[in-house]
Amino acid sequence: AFDRTPLIAGNWKMNMDHAEGVALVQKLAWTLDDANFDYDRVEVAVFPPSTDLRSVQTLVNGDKLKLEYGAQDLSDQDSGAYTGDISGAFLKKLECTYVLVGHSERRTIHQEDDELCSKKVDAAYRHGLTPILCVGEGLEERKAGNHVGFTLEQLRGSLKGLSASNAKTLVVAYEPVWAIGTGEVAGPEDAQEMSAAIRAELENLYDAETASAIRILYGGSVKAANAAATLAEKDVDGVLVGGASLKAEEFANIARFE
């Protein structure tokens, strides 16, 4: 049930050393090639630590791999006195396709708020990168039954000022914080409920055509064993995978979800 090309995205977080990262990309590509994977039907992207992006670029270009890749974060600024930050301009030179924005670990550990996320979304588009905007409620909001209201407010705040023409290529990842790295997976119906609510809100913010073009991913303890059921939901257009993306075969099996 896919009107949109599914995107299977692997967020390595701060894991894998350089050699392990290169080996993981190679093994992932080999595993998918062995299975005659159809990259035109399903997009597969990896998000290594920024220090590994150059090697991934070299590998992808040298071996003509059909994998996409992106960064886990970017600065809202283009250049200047921002020690430790990474500009979208640098990521574009590394030929990144995507960049994660507002992952819950950035929001929590680095106090990134919706306002900053909206600036990062702008910065991504300024440099020709496609942002994957992460939103999602914590356990408290879920228990209080306010998960939809909370998540939609994050969405509106993080997209402030984004034009409809840019929004068409946006990717949104719904990641309930209580399901990230916990082994606790939101049920397919929970993922569908939120994805439909996000799409309806995108239609309010933009228009029906834009809302139907935007891909909405689910993230939170996705594994090969549970990916297919979530991906079968009408408004779920892919998955953002943390832990299970560090194992080539497991991640390849998620990508081969049918």
User: Active-site positions?
Assistant: 103, 175
CA 214-217-223 angle, to 5 degrees, is 160
Single out the segment in contact with ligand PEP by CB under 6 A; choices: 84-92, 162-170, 206-214, 240-248.
240-248
Q: Which of 168, 149, 171 is nearest to 211 (CA)?
A: 168
Q: Is 75 in the site for ligand PEP (CB under 6 A)?
A: no
Single out the segment in contact with ligand PEP by CB under 6 A; choices: 75-83, 89-97, 118-126, 213-221.
213-221
Of the two residues 121 and 211, which places its CB atom closer to ligand PEP in the complex?
A: 121
Counting residues that bind ligand PEP (by CB under 6 A) gives: 13
User: Cα dist. 115→106, 157, 158, 179, 229 in Å?
Assistant: 13, 6, 6, 24, 34
Q: Please tell me the number of Cα atoms within 13 Å of 148 on its side-chain side.
A: 13
- Minimum CB separation of residue 254 from ligand PEP in Å reads 10
Q: Is 220 in the site for ligand PEP (CB under 6 A)?
A: yes
- Minimum CB separation of residue 47 from ligand PEP in Å reads 9
Task: Tell me phi and psi for residue 58, to 5 degrees.
Answer: -60, -45
Which of 128, 149, 181, 187 binds ligand PEP (CB under 6 A)? It is 181
The DSSP call for residue 35 is T
Residue type for position 85? D
Which of 6, 131, 219, 238 binds ligand PEP (CB under 6 A)? It is 219
Which of 240, 248, 254, 255 binds ligand PEP (CB under 6 A)? It is 240
Find out whether 242 is annotated in a ligand binding site. Answer: yes
The DSSP call for residue 77 is S
Q: Are 228 and 238 in contact (CB under 8 A)?
A: no
Q: What residue numbers does the annotated binding site for substrate cover?
A: 11-13, 181, 221, 242-243
